[in-house]
Structures are given as structure tokens and as C-alpha cells.
Amino acid sequence: MLLIDADKQRSLFKLRAIQSVLPVRYAQKSSGREALASFQRARFDVIVCRPHLGDITCCPWIRMVRSGKFGYAATPVVVLCDESELQELKPLVDVGTLLVPSADPVALTTALQAIRDGADKPTVLIIEDEVDAAQAAGRALDKAYRVEVAHTGTAALERWRQTHHPLVLLDLMLPDMSGRAVLAAMRAENPSQVVVILTAHDAPENHQELMLAGAADFLSKPLDLHGLPQACACALRAQACMGNAERSQAAAARVSELSARVRAAHYFIGRGQVARAGAHLKNALYTTRASHPTEDHWAALMAEFDT
């Protein structure tokens, strides 16, 4: 474990709490620069940090990890946050990043146990009719992913419908049906499914139609087994970024609606039309039903109105 915390005393207290539950080897660093140097030298199973690393915030630091240029890109990262930070950092969450409430005494050890046991590993479905090639790809991914293998399109679709794998590696040449048909079936049932094509012909013009049909990427055969885990992590991270963008757009739309409702309520209150103002405020409350203010925030708001 790589533990990054500018507060050394807090860091040691957290380490003792972890070691009382889990046997763990660790490197403790007090800044992002120190941690990056350590990350470049050694392979860590998990990184635990705070939203601020002393000299840099966690967001650009995690981006550096995910780039794969400084170490293993798919290393799990656990960020310890207070309640307000949990909301602020939600867009940071990707397939390998977990936000954990720092006030919960068991949340961190529970998360670390899940990472150790592989409970949070994404599942990858490899669809490849060449048995040796499929097994080699599976071994390359086994540390960071739970791997399932199918050798025909029919078997692959059956397993995929049962498990809903976050990522599919799909060979185009299958004995019973084409990879194109498998891709079309998956995308028809789940338009957000991440599918990476495995191909012996990597010229972009050969696969533009597959990309337009929804494939996330394509990898050349024979596969670079050393770089395969990072390629999978990049495909999943790109999908997570798109999901975050869609959620941000939805949140912006809710804020816009809330603003319009509040303005309308203010307009009707100014004209003495309390019932119509109340109707707009009820709709505004419905718009914000998923995000309630914290007790401290609520107390501050009430104090503001009292004064």
C-alpha cells in the first residue's frame, strides 16, 4: 500500500487502524512528489490518499497514475473524504478509484479487504476462438480483472447476458458468427457496453465502420500482453468519463430547473400569489430530492434566516 497524507500523525494513526485488521506492507509519503517517485519505483496493490496531498490535489495526481506513464495505470486508488468532499469529487470516480468517508472507522478497511479479495475487480469477457491466445490474454489480465473466456459468439452472448461484463475483448473471426454480429447484438441490448476489437488487420480504414457501430477501440494481434491491462483500463476509464459528463449535464439541467422555479416563486410572492409560489417551490424541492443539505449546512441556513 502507498499511503499519502501530509499529516504524519494522522497517517500513522490510520496505519495502526489498518494493521489491526489487515497485514499490510506500506510506504508512507507526505507529498504528491514523494509519492510519485515511490510509485515509479515499485508496484503497489493500492494507493490510499486524501483529497489534498500536501503539494498537489489528488485529481491531477490520479490523472498521472491513470496515464500509465509513471507506473501501473490500473492501480486502485482509495480517497478518504469528508462529507462535502464526497460530493465534490464524484466526477473523479472511475473504474479504479473509490471515495470512502473518512469519518467511518471501518469503511477504509472494508474497501481494502474488497480490493485484496478481488471483489471490486472489473470483469472482462474475452471472446477468442484460439484457445492459447485466449489463455495468454487471461493470464495478462488476471491480477487486475476477473476474466471469463468464450470461444464462440453464441457462448459469448449467453455469458454476457448473464454477467453484464463491463468490458468485452472481441475477436472478429469466430467459428459460428462474425464479431460484427456479436458487437451489433451487444450494442443493441446495451448501448453503453465497452467493446474492444481484437484484429490482425489494424489499419484504421479497415475498422472505421466498427468504431462507428460502437466499438471503443481495436487492438492489433498478436496482442501486446504487457500493455493489455493498461489498454483495458483506458477503455473503461474513457467510458467512465463519458458517464460523468452525462451526469454533469443532467445535474446542470436540474440546477437550471431549480433556478427557474425559485425565480418564478419569487415573482409570484412579490405579487401576493402565495399558492402559485408554493407550487413552484414544491417542484423545486422535488428537483433536489436526491441531494439534501447536511445538518451543519441546514443549521447555517436557518441561522441566516433568523438574523
Q: Count of domains in the chain? A: 3
Q: Tell me the pairing of strands 194-199 and 47-49.
A: unpaired
Same domain, 212 and 251: no
Q: What pLDDT does 144 receive? A: 81
Examine the domain organization and report whether 111 and 16 are in the same domain. yes
- CATH code where residue 159 lies: 3.40.50.2300
Q: Cα–Cα distance between 153 and 156 in angstroms, integer?
A: 5
Judgement on whether residues 221 and 281 belong to the same structural domain of the protein: no
Residue tagged 501486446 (cell numbers): 224
> How, if at all, do strands 146-150 and 123-127 pair?
parallel
- Residue at 231 is within a domain: no
CA nearest neighbour of 170 among 199, 205, 190, 209: 199
| CA dihedral sign of residues 140, 79, 92, 39 | negative
Question: Is residue 146 in a domain?
Answer: yes
Judge whether 214 lies within some domain.
yes
All three cell numbers of 80, joined, read 478518504
Q: Are residues 216 and 286 in the same domain?
A: no
Same domain, 15 and 107: yes
Name the 3-class secondary structure at 195: strand
Question: Do 13 and 112 lie in a common domain?
Answer: yes
- Contact yes or no for 225/142 (Cβ under 8 A): no
Q: Could you give the CA distance from residue 6 to residue 288 in angstroms, rounded to a whole number? A: 36
For residue 99, which phi and psi values (nearest 5 degrees)? -95, 130
From 196, 226, 256, the end of a domain falls on 226
Do residue 178 and residue 207 come from a single domain? yes
Within-domain flag for 167:
yes
d(CA 75, CA 77): 6
pTM for this entry: 0.61
Task: Indicate whether 182 belongs to any domain.
Answer: yes
Same domain, 10 and 46: yes
Other beta carbons within 10 angstroms of residue 29's beta carbon come to 23
Residues 76 and 102 in one domain: yes
* Domain co-membership, 17 together with 97: yes
Looking at residue 293, its pLDDT comes to 65
Rounded CA separation 121/147 (Å)? 9
Instruction: Going residue by residue through the chain, which has 307 residues, state the pLDDT in tens, using 9 for 90 and above.
Output: 999 999 989 988 888 889 988 889 999 999 999 999 999 999 899 999 999 998 999 989 998 998 888 888 778 999 999 888 887 888 777 778 899 999 888 899 999 998 888 777 889 999 999 999 999 999 999 888 889 999 999 999 999 999 999 999 999 889 999 999 999 999 999 998 999 999 887 666 767 888 888 898 889 888 889 889 888 888 887 877 676 666 677 777 878 888 888 889 899 999 999 999 988 888 888 877 656 666 777 677 677 766 5
Q: Record the cell numbers describing residue 288, joined without a space.
A: 433536489
Indicate the residue among 197, 226, 255 that finishes a domain: 226
Within a domain: residue 305?
Answer: no
Is 232 among the domain residues? no
Domain carrying residue 178: 123-226
- Based on the fold, state whether residues 6 and 100 are members of the same structural domain: yes
* Residue 233 resides in a domain: no
Where would I find the H helices in 164-294?
Answer: 179-189, 204-212, 228-270, 274-287
Q: Are 73 and 165 members of one domain? A: no
Q: Which of 226, 247, 266 delimits the end of a domain?
A: 226
Give the pLDDT of residue 294: 67
